Amino acid sequence: MSTCNHDCKSCKSKCENDSTKFLVKTSEQNHIKKIIGVVSGKGGVGKSATTSLLAVACAKMGYKVGIMDADITGPSIPQAFGLKDGLVGDGDLMYPGETSLGIKVVSINLLLEDPTKPVVWRGPVIGGAVKQFYTDVLWEDLDFLFVDMPPGTGDVALTVFQSLPIDGVIIVSTPQDLVEMIVKKAVNMADMMHIKVLGLVENMSYFTCPDCGKKIELFGPSKLESVAKELNIAPLAQFPIDPELARLVDAGEIENYELPDLTKVFDMLESIQK
Ligand code: ADP
């Protein structure tokens, strides 16, 4: 439709592109204000680290936050927060794990007896698990639920986009992916699914020399602004390559990381709260 604003939730017209027709429902005990997907064009770009940092930043601002680890075959959220205890439930709903800052976390790694065993499941089974992370978990009141999406634009990402009432996605990219425009695939997928792109984060953007403090752009000058402009999306933040971040993730202490400037992220989150 020529007047389509890509917001199927608020649109009343019956249309074949209606993205709400496969949505599943969460428990009546849950009141989740906004669901934000964190996506990347490919794996290993720091999508989970970014999801975790965004959640930590929001929790420190006083928001009620949850993280759904939908990256079923490469779950890394529990590790970053040092969560080990298996999840329990009441026969009806599953209770999420909780970090020191009170961030609620659900991940397949908290359900497997041996988290080192690979999840060798077919796409529909993985998709089913992700849906259950929404329908069968007692999230209670949340301002933001961040969904750490599987990398790429495959089957499970499609299931998440179709089944969960996602309010928008944040795209995470490395400088190299910005050059190669791998990020464009993620933007195109969101467009095709009528999901709003909330902005772009450039991870591993630069390195600060520990001796002289000089900012070194290992992959050349940042392309964040120019690519964001070209794709007509908001540039949100740049994260440096920081061995301290890697160390804290490995130690399960990401909540102790000194956060970079996230002003634009908070402005965006505030604007979608309205
Ligand atoms: P993805 O979710 O995209 O697969 P991860 O967030 O799991 O990627 O990151 C991959 C690895 O890189 C992890 O060990 C993580 O701690 C590390 N890492 C991510 N971002 C940074 C960064 N900015 N500086 C240092 N290490 C990082």
pLDDT single digits (tens) 7-43: 666 777 777 667 677 899 999 999 999 999 999 988 8
| Spatial distance between the Cα atoms of 128 and 10, rounded to a whole number of angstroms | 27
Whose Cα sits closest to atom 27 in ligand 1?
A: 246
* Mean pLDDT lowest among 171-175, 180-184, 185-189, 243-247: 180-184
pLDDT single digits (tens) 33-60: 999 999 998 889 999 999 999 999 999 9
Cβ(230)–Cβ(253) below 8 Å: no
pLDDT at 2 over 90: no
Q: Is the CB of 218 under 6 A from ligand 1?
A: no
pLDDT value of residue 8: 67
pLDDT at 133 over 90: yes
Q: Which residues pair with 38 in a beta bridge?
A: 148, 170
| Spatial distance between the Cα atoms of 260 and 54, rounded to a whole number of angstroms | 10
pLDDT value of residue 154: 84
* CA 169 – ligand 1 centroid, Å: 19
* CA 207 – ligand 1 centroid, Å: 14
Q: Is the CB of 55 under 6 A from ligand 1?
A: no
Q: Is the CB of 49 under 6 A from ligand 1?
A: yes
Whose Cα sits closest to atom 20 in ligand 1?
A: 46
pLDDT at 5 over 70: no
pLDDT single digits (tens) 199-254: 999 999 999 999 999 999 998 889 999 999 999 999 999 999 999 999 999 999 99
| Spatial distance between the Cα atoms of 145 and 166, rounded to a whole number of angstroms | 9
Q: Could you tell me the pTM of the whole model?
A: 0.93
